[in-house]
Structure 1
Amino acid sequence: MEIKTGFRNILILGACLIAAMILAFGFSQYAFFEDTAQSERMDKLSVEGMQLVQLTNEVLLYGEPRAVTQWRSQYQEVERLIKDEKLTLNGDLQEVMGPLRIRFANLLPLQEKLVQSQVRNTEPQVVRIIASQLFQDATQMQASLRSLKDLADEAFKSAYETAKQRQVLIFSLFTGLVSVYGIFVSLLFRKAILTPLYDLRQTIHSIREGQKAKAPVHEDDEIGAVCTTFNILLDEQESTRRQVQAISERFRNIFEQAAVGMSIVSTAGDWLEVNQCLCDILGYSRDEFLKTNYQAITLPEYLEDDIERVRIILSGEKAFDSWETRYRRKDGSVIWARITTALARNSGDSPMYFVTVTEDITERKNAEARIREINRQLEEQAHDLKRTNADLESFAWVASHDLREPLRMVSSYVGLIKKRLGPELDEDMTQYVGYAIEGAKRMDAIILGLLDYARIGRRGGTFELVPLDEVLAESLLNLSVTIKETQASVTVQEGIPKVIGVRSELIRLFQNMIGNAIKFRHPERPPQVKVGWEERQTEWVFSVSDNGIGIDPQYFNKVFQIFQRLVHKDAYEGTGIGLAICKKIVEHHGGRIWIESTLDQGSTFFVALLKVKLD
């Protein structure tokens, strides 16, 4: 039950108790008034009767008309009082009221007789007799009235004593009830309010002393709800404390185990806390750090800039800053350090301290110096290489003209000799002439191949998004005569993607690989060539498979070397440059090329090109 409901009921009970007490005292007063009303009526009757007796004596003494008139008026008043039903019906008064009524009834006839006698001048003796009798009745009536007065006094006294006893009884009863009510209220107040509040106070005291405690919930009332809410807040506070402790421990672990120097620095520059990594970087112990400040270890030529950066952060122009500076270690050596610092502020936005990360970049700085020197050397080498490449390019063009020109002249004149002396040449001479012409042609082909090989990546072709379906279509078009003559079957996997590359070089790449697959066909079966592709995470992998003569695995690396032939020139024509050109094209595109083959069953050449976006 709620406290307010309980105390409302208590107040209602108290109000009822007060109302009952008021009613009881009111009833007591009413009963007292009722009891005293009878005695008052008796007393009034006795007083008025005595007044009537006194007037009767005056009438007897003076006989004045005024006295007679007053007597009659008083008689009527006494008659009204003596006829009161409450006096008439009261059995306890009949012993007094009976004679009183008789004597009172005799007064009026005797008084009238006396008046008539006086008016008629009746004999004095008769008048005296009547007067004597009237006086006697009046005297007897007076005695009865005194008795009535005594009864009235006794009745009033009895009523007073009864009322007094009744008041004492009511007061005692209600005093006891009020005491019980007060004790009940006190116990209820103690149970409902004082005890829970005392327990709550003890709980708070225990918590202040660092003990774990919870407020006991005695009842399901308002204070119980307060205690329950207090316990919930304690649980939330404990949960928050654990979270804060976990965060603090996590921060401490991060702070202590960080691979960079970390520190907490006051706004004046004093070290407040440092981790072991910073101690290792600068060679100081933790205690030595805490006795100094960052100004003491900063080289003078860098100190002014550091102080200015700190001032800017303190002014609020920046929340944090990062810069490079130089510190002097305890052993006197100087290091480069990269400083990143941020200012921690309290809830009132007032600066508290700096959280600083210090990274030793001495090795990086030294490496940068070495790299700068290496770059300088590379620039010089690149300049020399550029000049050499230009010389080679010039040499290649010169070679293509100066070397091929004598070969064409040799081939032409040997052809003329064969034509003019043809009938005169014997079989051996004809064969020798053929060898000379064939050698000149092969030499020319080799020179052309070398020129092509040297020009890979030097023709100024631009990298662009190239649809490989168009590349393959053009490559197959260039090989259409060979495909038709050899009755080869070439299939291309659908959906072949677009890649970034030099269009002409990609055409040469696929043309060479498909041409090789057709050239080195198996003599017992028609060539079948399949071009496939596969998407991987960072690259496209393309394949050209055939059912040709295959390659022994021991020659896999050798096939991509220039002028390397694995079959006799009489069996398969060629210069041994085709696959070397393919490898150079692939490497120019940042890719890789390899082979998988089984001798006498066929080969598969793979080309992997990176999936890159065109800027």
Structure 2
Amino acid sequence: MTTEIEKQLIETNLRFRIATRTAKLGYWVFEVASSHVEVSDELLRQLGLPSDYTWTLQSWKDRLHPDDYDRAITQLATVTDGNPSSYFNVFRLRHSDGSYRWIESIGDFVYDDDNKLVRMIGTHQDISRRVEIEQALDAALENSIQANEALQRSNHELEQFAYVASHDLRSPLRGLHNLATWITEDIEESGNEVPESVREHCQTMGKQIERMQALLDGLLAYARIDQSYTSTEPVDLNKIVSEAIAFVEADSKFEVRLHSELPTIIGNPSPVMRVMVNLIDNAIKHHPGPEGKILIRGRVAEDGSAEVSVEDDGNGIPPEHRERVFRMFETLGKDRKSGKGGMGLAMVRKLVHSCGGTIRFEDSSLGGVAAITRWPTEASQPKSKKTPELTHRFVEAITGSGELAIDANTPPNSSS
């Protein structure tokens, strides 16, 4: 007859087996004096071995990855030869299919009455997938760092080019401008009759010089835009837009007003102000008539970001040109011959992107075009930006130096 205690032991053992199987957690028992090892079916399954396989200490040693062998053996010897407080070992074991699996082994100890270590009991878990994920994240982070460094170099080169354009190219431009001025003055002072075409050519040359100066100024301004406005202070868009409207000082024939309450965003007031001033001013300058309507609307988008649109009742922008207008030196229609730099919207987009936002053009309900910007808010920010990390003990156990190998089958940086 089975006693109540025996029933409880059977029940406890059943629960333990279910728990370890569900968690895919193998276990082992190591008799220190005899080196006898008892292992669970799950441990054998992790290595592709049959349940009747006879596992010994030598089996473990034979399956150790060559680059992990000395470190893993030393770790075990440190425990069995001393007075340990814990056992933690990470190594690669050869699977029956010939590949290697990362294993995490954690042990506890049983002592006799003389406080001598007689038995170790521990867990055996296949963590290959976890290591692969950690290594993939590590590789992705490294690639991201390299890409960021390359981008910074590119931006630095662009800034250097802008300074060269600003200083080295401005000097001959000034010389050409002076030359055109002197020729014009000489013609007027000579009193001689000069063909009208010569005067027209001089005027054309002056305009082209001014246009080149505007292009250089625009390029320099574009390059000087900060690459990232990392400020996380709240920015009241209602205040920003109201100040932008006042700054532009539109003609009284233009109705420029804030049509709806705007959300509070997270960012830097300076670039946001520059964007709003530029968009309002752009809508006025490119309006086909002497009077018009410009409305600024706002709402909170589904992702929590703040959406602000600057809409007008002008001619609009054809859909096929709505991306093109953001390119440097691109102008449409009558602006092609205006002599202006064509850098305004390129700088606007760079400013918006530097704040973590986006900008696009769509049809306006007023009949013209709507410049729609999106800005980050507290609600749209990721809840956590922590990068998953290996524990210090785990990293040390794998590599001995706190650095992961890129491939699970590739030796770590240190095998000691």
TM-score, length of structure 2 as denominator length = 0.67
Cα distance in 2 for partners of 1:539, 1:344 equals: 55
| Distance change in 2, residues 1:357/1:525 (3 Å) | same
1:107-256 to 2 correspondences below 5 Å: 251=19, 254-255=22-23
Cα distance in 2 for partners of 1:464, 1:401 equals: 35
Q: CA deviation at 1:500?
A: 2.0
Q: Select the residue among 351, 373, 394 that pairs with 1:585.
A: 351
Structure 2 match to 1:487: 254
Give the fraction of aligned pairs with identical amino acids, expressed as a percent. Answer: 22
Q: Select the residue among 334, 337, 355 that pairs with 2:123.
A: 355
Q: Select the residue among 544, 565, 569 that pairs with 2:331.
A: 565
| Distance change in 2, residues 1:430/1:521 (3 Å) | same
Q: CA deviation at 1:530?
A: 1.3
Asked if 1:406 is matched to 2:172, the reply is yes
Q: Residue type matched to 1:263 in 2?
A: G
Cα distance in 2 for partners of 1:413, 1:247 equals: 96
Structure 2 match to 1:465: 233
1:281-292 to 2 correspondences below 5 Å: 282-288=47-53
Cα distance in 2 for partners of 1:457, 1:574 equals: 23
Contact 2:265 2:306 in 1 (8 A): no
1:391-540 to 2 correspondences below 5 Å: 392-418=158-184, 421=187, 428-457=197-226, 463-465=231-233, 467-469=235-237, 470-480=239-249, 483-484=250-251, 487-491=254-258, 493-501=260-268, 503-523=269-289, 526-534=292-300, 536-540=302-306
Deviations 1:476-531 (A, max 9, x none): 34422xx1366341326335314223x43222222222222222224285132314
Structure 1 match to 2:377: 611
Cα distance in 1 for partners of 2:77, 2:242 equals: 68
Cα distance in 2 for partners of 1:534, 1:307 equals: 59
Could you say what secondary structure the match of 1:545 adopts?
strand
| Distance change in 2, residues 1:534/1:600 (3 Å) | closer
| Distance change in 2, residues 1:536/1:272 (3 Å) | same
Q: CA deviation at 1:604?
A: 1.8
Contact 2:229 2:354 in 1 (8 A): no
Structure 2 match to 1:87: none
Q: CA deviation at 1:605?
A: 2.0
Contact 1:407 1:440 in 2 (8 A): yes
Q: Residue type matched to 1:285 in 2?
A: P
Cα distance in 1 for partners of 2:13, 2:261 equals: 62
Structure whose residues are more often strand by fraction: 2
Contact 1:519 1:572 in 2 (8 A): no
Deviations 1:140-177 (A, max 9, x none): xxxxxxxxxxxxxxxxxxxxxxxxxxxxxxxxxxxxxx
Structure 1 match to 2:28: 265
Moved more, 421-430 or 395-404: 421-430
Q: Select the residue among 59, 72, 76 that pairs with 1:307.
A: 76
Q: Residue type matched to 2:102 in 1?
A: A
Cα distance in 1 for partners of 2:296, 2:153 equals: 43
| Distance change in 2, residues 1:253/1:515 (3 Å) | farther
Asked if 1:548 is matched to 2:317, the reply is no
Please tell me whether Structure 1 or Structure 2 has the larger radius of gyration of its CA atoms: 1
Q: Residue type matched to 2:52 in 1?
A: D
User: What CA RMSD, in Å, does the superposition of the two structures yield over aligned residues?
Assistant: 4.7
Structure whose residues are more often helix by fraction: 1
Structure 2 match to 1:176: none
Higher relative contact order (CA 8 A, sep 6+): 2
Structure 2 match to 1:120: none
Cα distance in 1 for partners of 2:302, 2:106 equals: 43
TM-score, length of structure 1 as denominator length = 0.48
Deviations 1:403-445 (A, max 9, x none): 2233333334434544554595665444433322222212111
Contact 1:533 1:543 in 2 (8 A): no
Structure 2 match to 1:337: 102
| Distance change in 2, residues 1:393/1:337 (3 Å) | same
Contact 1:339 1:356 in 2 (8 A): yes
Q: CA deviation at 1:576?
A: 2.4
Q: Residue type matched to 1:265 in 2?
A: W
Contact 1:264 1:353 in 2 (8 A): yes
Structure 1: gaps (5+ residues): 1-204, 210-237
Q: Residue type matched to 1:406 in 2?
A: P
Cα distance in 2 for partners of 1:505, 1:430 equals: 44
| Distance change in 2, residues 1:592/1:390 (3 Å) | closer
Cα distance in 1 for partners of 2:92, 2:127 equals: 11
